[in-house]
Amino acid sequence: MIMEETVGIDLKLQKTGTTLLLEAENSLFEIVLRYPEHGILEIQSNRPPLKRETICQFIHALVWPATGGISTLSAPACVNMIVPRCEMVLRFSNGEWQTPPILSARILGVREDWSRWYYDVF
């Protein structure tokens, strides 16, 4: 369960076309939200399987406590949220994939007058 004061990105509250830049250890992810209400996104990364833009669905994020010795069963799932140290579980046409823990996030968008904005979330 995510506490109200937790910093993060609620995917369902974002507009179509919003871009997320996510950094994990040894990985960068660029995500463009296509159908945020359904968790459908386009992802590209420096990781070999995601070098080209690929459509997938955000299933949930696993949040690991700061302490070590964690098993998969003890990680609570965050639906529609990307929070610090979470591992995103993504569904592709050929199966599911789990990202490394997300360390930082920036959200980018375009205003109605076509000017750009961004916000460093964490």
Sign of the CA dihedral running 117, 38, 83, 97 = negative
Q: How far apart are CA 96 and CA 62, in angstroms?
A: 14
Query: What confidence tens digit (pLDDT) does each residue in 5-57 have?
Result: 578 999 999 999 999 999 999 999 999 999 999 999 999 999 988 999 999 99
Cα angle value 45/51/56 (rounded, 5°):
70
Query: What confidence tens digit (pLDDT) does each residue in 74-110 have?
Result: 567 888 999 999 999 999 999 999 999 999 999 999 9
* pTM attached to this predicted model: 0.84
